Amino acid sequence: WANWEFHLSFDARVGLILSTASIYDSQKQERRPVLYRGFISELFVPYMDVTEEWYNRAYFDAGEYGIGISVAPLQPKVDCPENAAFMDGYMTSHDGKPIKMPNVFCIFERYAGDIMWRHTEFSVPGRIITESRPELTLVVRMVTTVGNYDYIVDWEFFQSGVIKVEVGLTGVLEVKGTNYTYKDQVHEEIYGTLLAPNTIGTYHDHFMTFHLDLDVDGQDNSLVKSHLDIMAVKKHHSPRKSYWTVKSETAQRESDGRIHLGSKSAEILFVNPNKRTKLGNTIGYRLVPGPAIHPLLLEDDYPQLRAGFTKYSVMVTPYNKSEKWASGLFTDQSHGDDTLETWSLRDREIENKDIVLWYTMGIHHVTSQEDFPIMPTVSIGFELRPANFFETNPVLSIKSPKDIRWINCSMKTDKSI
C-alpha cells in the first residue's frame, strides 16, 4: 500500500502479528526495512479487590486466554468502514485440526479529513501562497473480546513513515454484587465505584506490553536514550538565563535499556549506528509513547511477581527466537521466573545488535458510572516515527489531489444496521 509493504499473520496467543514492514524511499529509490515483527505480547489486567472470591483476578489475557483465540469476527460496515477488505485467520484446534476464524482482520484506507502537511506563505508581497495535502493512511484492525472486555487494536501506516498503534478499550466491566444502593451507605473498603444499584465496578489496570523488533534500515541497531536538560547561561553574553539541550547516551547492556517513562522528559530512539544521512546524522526511529503506567502493587505481591515485566515502560533485549512472550512460555503456572524481567537480568549486550524494544503502556482504570452497562471506547496509543531516517520530508512530493469525490453523507445506509 502506497510506499509501505508488510506481512500480516494471525496467532492464537497474540492475535495480530505485523512483520517485515518496509518503506520505499523515493529519494534513495530503495526499499528500507523498519519493523521486523510487532505484536502485543501480553495484556495484564489485575483487579484491586482482595476478598475471597476476587483476589485471584489478575488476568494475563495473552498467556492465559489467548488474544487470538478470543478474537471476534468483524462486522462489515459497523466494526470497519465500507471500503474495508477482510481476512480470515487459522489456528490449531485441540485435536490438531485447523480451525478457520472468519473476518479476524479488516484493512482499509482512512481519510478522516485530516491534514498531512500544509503552509500558507503570507510574507511574499502581494501574494498569498497555500499548499496543503490531505492525510491518507492504511489501517489494519483486529478486535479481541477477552471475557468481559473488548480491545480494538489498530495498526495505522502513514505515508510519512509513521506507524501508529492504537488500542481502544470497550465492552462490559467486571462487576460485583452488593447490598449497597447509594454511596452514603458505604462505610467500608469496596475496592471500586458504585456504578448502579447493587453493582460495584472494581478498580483495575490494563498493562499492554508490545514486542517491537525494529530493524531500522538494517538488522543491527542501538538504543539511544536522550534527556532534555535545562542549561543555565553562565557567562553574561546573552540576556537569557537558560535554555534546554539534548543529552544522549547509547545503551550498552540490557540494564541500560530499562527505562521508566513519565518522570523525566526522555526520548527513546532506535538507531542504525552503521548508517548515516548525507549530513552525518545517525539514521533512526523514535518511540513516541502513550500514557505511562507503573505498577501500583507491592513487588512481592503474587500477581506482580508474575508480571514483573510491567515494572519498566521500556526494556530492550537482544533478539532471541525463544523470547517472544513477556509473561513466559507457560503463563498459567508461572511463578515469575521465566518472564521478560528475568531474561533481562542476564544483562546481555545490546549495542549494534539485532535488538527488540519492549514497550508497556496502559491505564489505571478508576471506574465511573458512564462505564456501565457497556463502556464507551477509551483509546490509547503510541507511534514509531522516523528520526533522521529520511533526507527530507518524505511526503513532500505527494501530488495535490485535484478533485477527490469522497463518499458523502447522503449515501444510502443499510436499514439493518
Catalytic (active site) residue 312 = no
Catalytic (active site) residue 59 = no
Among 49, 323, 341, 371, binds ligand NAG (CB under 6 A): 323
Selection from 207, 215, 116 nearest residue 167 by Cα: 207
Amino acid at 416: S
Binding mask 331-370 for Cu ion (x = CB under 5 A): ----------------------------------x-----
Contact of residue 365 among Cu ion, ligand NAG, none (CB under 5-8 Å per partner type): Cu ion
410: contact with ligand NAG by CB under 6 A = yes
Instruction: State in angstroms the smallest separation of the CB of 308 from ligand NAG.
Output: 14
Selection from 364, 387, 201 nearest residue 288 by Cα: 387
Q: What is the DSSP annotation of 316-329? A: EEE--TT---TT-S
242: contact with ligand NAG by CB under 6 A = no
CA distance 229 to 242: 10
Continuous segment of H or E residues that includes residue 19 = strand 15-25
- Smaller CB separation from Cu ion, 33 or 168: 168
> In this structure, what C-alpha cell is assigned to residue 217?
534500515
> Residues 178 to 197: which contact ligand NAG by CB under 6 A?
179
CA distance 234 to 80: 58
Q: What is the DSSP annotation of 44-80? A: EEEB---STTTTT-EEEIIIII-TTTTB-PPPBTTTB
Instruction: State in angstroms the smallest separation of the CB of 148 from ligand NAG.
Output: 23
Window contacting ligand NAG (CB under 6 A); options: 65-73, 318-326, 366-374, 391-399: 318-326
- State the maximum Cα–Cα separation within the chain, in Å, rounded to a whole number: 78
Contact of residue 245 among Cu ion, ligand NAG, none (CB under 5-8 Å per partner type): none
Binding mask 324-343 for ligand NAG (x = CB under 6 A): -------------------x
φ and ψ at 196, to 5 degrees?
-160, 165
Site residues, Cu ion (CB under 5 A): 365
Q: Which residues are catalytic?
A: 61, 149
Site residues, ligand NAG (CB under 6 A): 179, 320, 322-323, 343, 408, 410-411
